[in-house]
Chains A and B, each alone.
Chain A
Amino acid sequence: MSRSVRRRLQLLAVLAALALVATACGGDDSSDTTAGPSATTSTTAGGGGDATTTTEAMNDEPIVVGGSLALTGFLAPTAAIHKVAGDLFVERLNASGGLLGRPVVWDVRDDESVPDQAASLYERLISEEGVDLILGPYGTGTITAAMAVAEREGFVFPHHTASLTYAYTYACHFPTWPVGLKTNISNPNIVYDALEASGNPPETIAFVMNEFPGTQLIAYGPPGSDEGGAISEARKRGWDVVAEINFPTGTSDWAPIAAQVAQADPDFIYVGALGVDGPNLLTALDAIGYAPRGHFYQWPAPGPMLGAPNAEGAFSVATFEPHAPFTDDPEAAEISQQFAEAAAAAGLPYTAFETQASVSWVAWEVLVAGVEGAGSLDQDAICDYLINNPIDTLLGTIDFNPDEQNYYGDLSVVKQIQNGEWIVVHPANVAKPGTAPIL
């Protein structure tokens, strides 16, 4: 091979690699974006024959809802659930006549789990793409970044999974993660009430908390405030806090943490867990021969938790589980079923329509209710409507309260793994019939 040929091959290789990097990094941007006329057709036709017929009948310019999701990056495992939920919602919306008589297109971009990227995408969607509406991304960091853009541009901002409740002061942000403004107080107490309701509350408790800002808020309260959180609330109930361990996000070696938990040997372990922190801790505990007597996980990946050793009896918080009484409403049951099918088709290993999917769904419901209530796409009118009117959603009626930064109390419920399934066990009025918290 001559030197010049080698040189050309070399350059080609570098160029190819760079192009592939660019494609791989930005590829999801196009593949998961449903923008433009052709995408419109594909999205609106997704509902099957009826949807196609309705779309043709609507015969109007689509309303474009812009947004981003963490289709890649560390938030991608959970964002995939929101993608399926959003696609299904838009499909059903279009099948039932669209919004203001027009079809709806969801232009969703990949923010790669990076807040800066989310902010620039929202800026682009609003300023350059001229989207009609926006919906928040997945995850605290990206939502916080995108909300600043929404506020600057005066766009109504429904969002589903932001955990730093105290930080959101924009008048037209509408949270559908129903955890209340002072979630650091309300959320642990909902859990603690469930433990009391078991008739066998703990006397000692250990806290194992992810350093993620949302779980730190739950544990300690807002930075610089003396509100406290899960730890101080436990002490108020007279429970002895025997261990307090904070670990970094992405911890891979759980053995030393497990050893400290086992040595403390608490009646109850409160794990400020994200994703697979729970299964990883349980595996490490099991490896050293320790089975927790009672344990709670803040925001776990529900599927992997079910397969973890000694997971039976684990608690978590929830908003929806696909069983009675949540599925007593036929529409809720139908949505659950359709979501499970869509999630399976998307290759998701755990297909239950539960907390993540339900809050995603409600964010869409809020957006649609705002537009229909305002009767237009005027952002101020939508914002006014949402602030001044109760909104019926899959999770019940939401009444955004400006005095509470648009939060409306903590509607979380408590679920537990019983007989290998997640079921809601507290409070009694939403517990699966015949069940109660067991400790």
Chain B
Amino acid sequence: MNEVLNQAIVSGLLIGGLYAVMSVGISLTWGVLKIINLAHFSFVLLGAYVTYELTTSFGWDPLLALLVVIPGGFLTGMIMQIFFELAKVDEFQSLIISFGIFIIFQSITRTIWSADFRRIGGDLNRYESMSFFIGDIAVQVAPLLAFCVAVAIAVGMSLLLGRTYFGKAVRAIVDDPEIARAYGIDVRRVAVILSGLATAFSATAGVFIATFQSLTPNMSFGWFGIVFPVVILGGLGSAVGALGAGVIVGVAAGVATTEWGPLSASLVTFLILIGALLFRPQGLFTRESST
């Protein structure tokens, strides 16, 4: 393989980690809570803008924004789930309502920061193009950190869901919420915590995006074409699946860009998605009934 292709694979692998962090929140709420929460796109966006603001206005290191963004995201996710619970929102309604929330947050973002492009300058953002080399291959630090976070989330969620009472409760809720409730599981509490976690993950993705991309409120629409293939390929409700699917999408897009030009990247991504829907509709990384 030539050097350019190697570089594309490594870069695709790392950017795949970022895609996973962006997608895992939606995957969890959709797969476990049966909420297709499009508002997660606005939480990614808000995470990015809050990082921008903390860095440019207060001189924070961009990654320190995680200290604000994670708890803020967690709290927001809990509040949102309480609202969904009170309103008894079903899967289809959640699509409409969360899209409304997404649009509202996008408008708020535009009102506060304007529609114009924002970018954390290199003087305040040491991660912007920070990288190191393994042989001839450049490894960019910001996507690498996002990849590490994706791995941590995947491992953490696997342990949480597989080895704790909370995880058993989640799996019971996925199987049958009414039976789970009959066995004494506080379904609402579990759902609220899970929603908080999912939203915190989405907001975390925004922090990493702010470290190496320019921001504009409308950029969130562009994420739909990345996140949904990752969520569906990975299997609903699976953090490990989101990581695997993110890597597949990232690497496939990178290789396609190198071999057939950038225009082929989306085509290849969606061909993989169509293939998966035909042959593995439950996702590439899940059994039919697992989380």
A residues with CB within 8 A of B: 1, 6, 9-10, 12-14, 16-18, 20-21, 24-25, 27, 71-74, 76-81, 113, 211, 245-248, 250-253, 255-257, 259-260, 263, 275-276, 279-280, 283-284, 286-289, 301, 303-304, 307-309, 346-350
Kindly state whether residue B228 has any CB partner on chain A within 8 Å.
no
* Complex interface residues of chain B between 80 and 99 (CB less than 8 A to chain A): 83, 86-89, 93, 96-97, 99
Interface membership of chain B positions 222-250, coded 1 if the CB is closer than 8 angstroms to chain A and 0 otherwise: 10001000000000000000000000001
User: Taking the complex as formed, is B131 at the interface, i.e. its CB lies under 8 A from any CB of chain A?
Assistant: yes
Q: In the complex, what residues of A have CB within 8 A of residue B258's CB? A: 256, 259-260
Q: How far is the CA of A253 from the CA of B261 in the complex (A)?
A: 13
Contact A304 B214 (CB under 8 A): yes
Q: Give the shortest distance, in Å, between B12 (CB) and chain A (any CB).
A: 7
**Is B218 an interface residue when CB atoms closer than 8 A count as contact?**
yes
Most buried by B among A14, A80, A259: A259
**When the two chains form their complex, are residues B103 and A21 in contact, meaning their CB atoms are under 8 A apart?**
yes
B110–A72 touching, CB < 8 Å: yes
Give the segment of B115-123, B149-157, B165-173 that binds chain A.
B115-123
Contact: B262 with A248, CB < 8 Å? Answer: yes
Closest approach, in angstroms, between the C-beta of B150 and any C-beta of chain A? 15
Which residues of the other chain, A, contact B4 by a CB distance below 8 angstroms?
A: 256, 259-260, 263
B93 touches A301 (CB 8 A): no
Shortest C-beta distance, A254 to chain B (Å), equals 9
Q: Which residue of A lies closest to B218 (CB)?
A: A74
Using CB atoms, name the residue of chain A closest to B142. A287
Tell me the bound Cα distance from A9 to B87 in angstroms.
Answer: 6
A residues near B226, Cβ cutoff 8 Å? 252
Q: What is the distance, in angstroms, from B30's C-beta to the closest C-beta of chain A?
A: 18
Picked from B15, B89, B99, B257, the residue with its CB within 8 Å of the CB of A13 is B89
Q: Are B119 and A307 in contact (CB under 8 A)?
A: yes
Chain A residues lying within 8 Å of B114, measured Cβ to Cβ, are: 80, 346-349
Residue B208 is within 8 A (CB to CB) of chain A in the complex: no
| A261 closest partner in B (C-beta) | B4
Whether B117 and A301, one on each chain, are in contact in the complex, defined by CB atoms closer than 8 angstroms, is: yes
- The chain B residue with its CB closest to the CB of A20 is B100
Q: Chain A residue with minimal CB distance to B249?
A: A253
What CA separation (Å) do A346 and B253 show in the bound complex? 38
Note all chain B residues with C-beta closer than 8 A to A260: 4, 258
Evaluate contact between B7 and A24: CB separation under 8 angstroms: no
User: Do the beta carbons of A10 and B89 come within 8 Å of each other?
Assistant: yes
Is the pair B100, A280 in contact by a Cβ cutoff of 8 Å?
A: no
Contact between B129 and A286, CB atoms less than 8 A apart:
yes
Given A9-B87, A288-B131, A307-B122 in contact, is the A259-B7 Cβ separation under 8 Å? yes
Across the interface, name the chain A residue whose C-beta is closest to B143. A255
What are 26 residue pairs bridging A and B, where the CB atoms are less than 8 Å apart in the complex? Answer: A9-B86, A13-B93, A14-B96, A21-B99, A24-B100, A72-B107, A72-B218, A77-B117, A81-B116, A211-B263, A245-B262, A248-B262, A255-B11, A255-B12, A255-B140, A257-B262, A259-B11, A279-B119, A280-B213, A287-B140, A287-B212, A303-B119, A307-B119, A309-B128, A346-B114, A349-B118
Given known A-B contacts A25-B103, A309-B128, A348-B114, A252 and B213 have beta carbons under 8 A apart: yes
Q: Range of interface residues on chain B?
A: 35 or more
Q: Within 8 Å of chain A (Cβ to Cβ): is B266?
A: yes
Chain B min CB distance to A112 (Å): 10
Given known A-B contacts A248-B266, A257-B257, A276-B119, A27 and B221 have beta carbons under 8 A apart: no
CB distance from B95 to the nearest CB of A (A): 10
Partner of A255, one of B3, B8, B99, B133: B8
Binding site for A on B (CB under 8 A): 3-4, 7-8, 11-12, 15, 83, 86-89, 93, 96-97, 99-101, 103-104, 106-107, 110, 112-122, 128-131, 133, 138, 140, 212-214, 216-218, 221-222, 226, 250, 253-255, 257-258, 261-263, 265-266
The 9 closest A-B pairs by CB, nearest first: A255-B11, A76-B115, A286-B129, A17-B100, A247-B262, A276-B214, A307-B121, A288-B138, A13-B87
Chain A residues positioned under 8 Å from B129 (CB to CB): 283-284, 286-287, 309
- Assembly CA distance A80 to B91 (angstroms): 37
| CA distance in complex: A260, B130 (Å) | 19
**Given contacts A14-B93, A73-B218, is CB(A24)–CB(B106) below 8 Å?**
yes
In chain A, what residue has the closest Cβ to B112? A347
Q: Is the CB of A71 within 8 A of B253?
A: no
Closest chain B residue to A248, Cβ basis: B263
Kindly state the separation between the CA atoms of A33 and B129 in the bound complex, as whole angstroms.
41
Distance A74 CA – B253 CA, assembled complex (angstroms)? 23
User: Given contacts A255-B7, A287-B138, is CB(A76)–CB(B119) below 8 Å?
Assistant: no
For residue A273, give the distance in angstroms from its CB to the closest CB of chain B.
Answer: 12
In the docked arrangement, what's the CA distance between A257 and B256, Å?
11
Give Cα A18–Cα B93 distance, bound, in whole angstroms: 10
- Which of A9, A251, A280 is within 8 Å of B214, CB to CB? A280
Q: Is the CB of B266 within 8 A of A256?
A: no
Measured between C-beta atoms, what is the minimum distance from B23 to chain A in Å? 14
Complex partner residue of A309 from B83, B118, B122, CB under 8 angstroms:
B122
Residues from chain B with a CB closer than 8 A to the CB of A71 are 115
- Nearest to A249 among chain B residues (CB) is B222
Chain A residues in 8 Å Cβ range of B263 = 211, 246-248
On chain A, the residues within 8 Å of B107 by CB distance are 24, 27, 72
Residue of B nearest to A260 (CB): B4
A252-B213, A253-B254, A347-B113 known; A246+B96 contact, CB < 8 A = no
Residue among A6, A256, A280 making CB contact with B7, cutoff 8 Å? A256
Interface pair B15/A77, CB less than 8 Å apart: no
Contacts of B120 in A (CB 8 A): 307
Chain B residues, Cβ within 8 Å of A72? 107, 110, 115, 218
